[in-house]
């Protein structure tokens, strides 16, 4: 038995060896016969393979470059251009004056910032530092001076001033809506590439693909709109008003119609520079719901009689327009905002009222029996934007002349 097993094993081994030798013979039949030819063959094969690999790598690199196509966006509101990947789409957002865009990796939002009422800020850089509490860097990109906010872990922000004087913030962040695991560090290189492309629209390279976003248009509204105890705010008014936001010296958020707010800033600067009078906005735009809460609060604190005397019924307040501002005084660094306290400074209010018309404001509730047509007694702090033409005519006939009289 052992002998048979040995013979069988030997036969199998010999068969395997024969097959291997046959395979080797077939594989080398096409090779050169001499040693030098064999060497040349081997060398040529190695060089050819290396060249093919190099070509493949170069072609692949070129293919990748061709695939990464870009497009320039010319954003008219900012007079700013930026270069982004072609799959990135930037468009006007639902909120007036804002823009937003994204692809699978990055998301960009552009918003009018409107935080220029901070009293300590002397320029945009100081303003950003004051508001965000973060260090900033001033960068120059293609003729633009931009404030870059550092230290933001989830995004990077750029602040700039538009030709109209509005301050904008551009935010670039990872698009977590498309990729939940994506972090800002993953798209940092893309953000920096876009940052380097910032420039004035006039400096977009010739011959490049450019998409133009026209200037934002806002519905027109009547700045002489009459809102009082017998005239409610017109339907759909809030949809027509371009609202800006700010924070006052008391740390409260306030809102106002953009044109009125810009005029207020000029009035504020004039009073500070030439009269040493400091003011800020206590109340600006209020919704009907917010008005109801104020009326309820005043009623609880002062009683219904006082509340109805000084607070309008919901729907009949001028503050719904965004054109009316209640201002307060800042005396020796102290905020003076309670009505009974502000009434103690008639000389200061007289100086303020003397400059209202210059910037398109009127004293909405003046002295001398105006309650008969406005419904409210004298309020030195309540000013209303009506435009310079109407303001000059109304203020020239005060005290006692009102918007109701001007509008017949």
Average pLDDT score over residue span 350-377: 86
CB-CB contact of 172 with 106 (8 Å)? yes
Q: Taking 50 as the threshold, does the pLDDT of residue 28 lie above it?
A: no
Could you tell me where the DSSP H helices lie in 232-312? 237-240, 258-275, 288-302, 304-310
Give the model confidence (pLDDT) of 328-341 as tens digits: 999 999 999 999 99
Write b or e for each residue in 74-92: b if 16 or more Cβ atoms lie within 10 A of its Cβ, otherwise e. bbebbbbbbbbbeebebeb
Which H or E run includes 406? helix 403-406
Fold of 70-213: Protein Transport Mog1p; Chain A (3.40.1000)
Nearest to 88 by CA among 204, 215, 187, 227: 187
Q: Taking 70 as the threshold, does the pLDDT of residue 23 lie above it?
A: no
Give the model confidence (pLDDT) of 259-273 as tens digits: 899 899 999 999 999
Q: Above pLDDT 70, what percent of the chain?
A: 78
Q: Taking 60 as the threshold, does the pLDDT of residue 284 lie above it?
A: yes
For domain 237-406, the question of CATH label 1.10.340.30 is answered with no
Which segments of the chain belong to CATH 3.30.1380.10?
237-406
* Residue 375 region by backbone torsions, left for phi larger than 0, else alpha for psi between -120 and 50, else beta: left
Within 10 A of 198 (CB to CB), how many other CB atoms are there?
Answer: 22
Size (the chain), residues: 408
Banded model confidence at residue 301, pLDDT cuts 50, 70, 90:
very high
Average pLDDT score over residue span 308-335: 92
Q: Quote the Cα angle for 344-348-354, to 5°.
A: 135
Average pLDDT score over residue span 321-325: 96
Q: Taking 90 as the threshold, does the pLDDT of residue 142 lie above it?
A: no
Mean pLDDT score across all residues of the chain? 81
d(CA 137, CA 150) in angstroms, rounded, equals: 7
Within 10 A of 136 (CB to CB), how many other CB atoms are there?
Answer: 19
Strands 70-75 and 210-213: parallel
- Reduced to 3 states, what is the DSSP secondary structure of residue 157? strand
Nearest to 132 by CA among 146, 149, 108: 149
Banded model confidence at residue 31, pLDDT cuts 50, 70, 90:
very low
Which segments of the chain belong to CATH 3.40.1000?
70-213
Residue 377: predicted pLDDT: 83
Give the model confidence (pLDDT) of 237-262 as tens digits: 888 888 888 888 898 989 999 889 98
């Amino acid at each position: 038995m052992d002998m048979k097993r040995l013979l069988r094993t030997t036969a199998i081994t010999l068969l395997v060896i024969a097959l291997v030798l046959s395979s080797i013979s077939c594989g080398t039949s096409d090779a050169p016969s001499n040693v030098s030819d064999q060497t040349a063959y081997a060398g040529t094969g190695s060089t050819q393979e290396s060249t093919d690999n190099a070509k493949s790598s170069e072609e692949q690199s070129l293919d990748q470059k061709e695939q990464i196509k870009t497009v320039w966006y010319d954003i008219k509101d900012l007079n700013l251009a930026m270069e982004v990947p072609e799959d990135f789409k930037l468009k006007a957002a639902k909120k007036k004056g804002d823009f937003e865009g994204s692809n699978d990796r990055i998301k960009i939002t552009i918003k009018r910032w409107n935080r220029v009422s901070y009293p300590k800020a002397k320029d945009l850089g100081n303003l950003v530092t004051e508001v965000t509490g973060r260090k900033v860097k001033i960068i120059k990109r293609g003729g633009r001076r931009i404030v870059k906010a550092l230290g933001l872990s989830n995004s990077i922000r750029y602040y700039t001033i538009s030709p109209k004087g509005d301050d904008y913030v551009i935010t670039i962040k990872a698009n977590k809506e498309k990729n939940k695991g994506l972090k800002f560090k993953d798209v940092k290189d893309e953000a920096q590439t876009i940052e380097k492309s910032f420039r004035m629209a006039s400096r977009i390279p010739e011959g490049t693909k450019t998409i133009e976003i026209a200037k934002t248009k806002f519905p027109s509204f009547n700045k002489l709109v009459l809102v009082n105890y017998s005239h409610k705010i017109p339907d759909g008014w809030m949809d027509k008003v371009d609202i800006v936001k700010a924070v006052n010296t008391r740390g409260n958020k306030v809102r106002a119609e953009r044109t009125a707010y810009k005029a207020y800033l000029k009035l504020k600067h004039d009073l500070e520079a030439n009269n040493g009078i400091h003011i800020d906005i206590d109340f600006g735009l209020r919704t009907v719901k917010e008005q109801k809460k104020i009326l309820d609060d005043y009623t609880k604190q002062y009683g219904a009689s006082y509340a109805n005397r000084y607070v309008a019924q919901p729907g009949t307040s001028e503050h719904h327009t965004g054109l009316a501002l209640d201002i307060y005084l800042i005396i020796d660094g102290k905020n003076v905002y309670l009505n009974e306290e502000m009434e103690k400074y008639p000389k200061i209010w007289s100086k303020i009222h003397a400059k209202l018309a210059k910037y398109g404001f009127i004293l909405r509730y003046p002295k001398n029996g105006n309650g008969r047509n406005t419904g409210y007694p004298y309020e030195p702090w309540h000013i209303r934007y009506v435009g310079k033409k109407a303001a000059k005519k109304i203020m020239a006939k005060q005290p006692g002349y009102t918007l109701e009289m001007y509008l017949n």
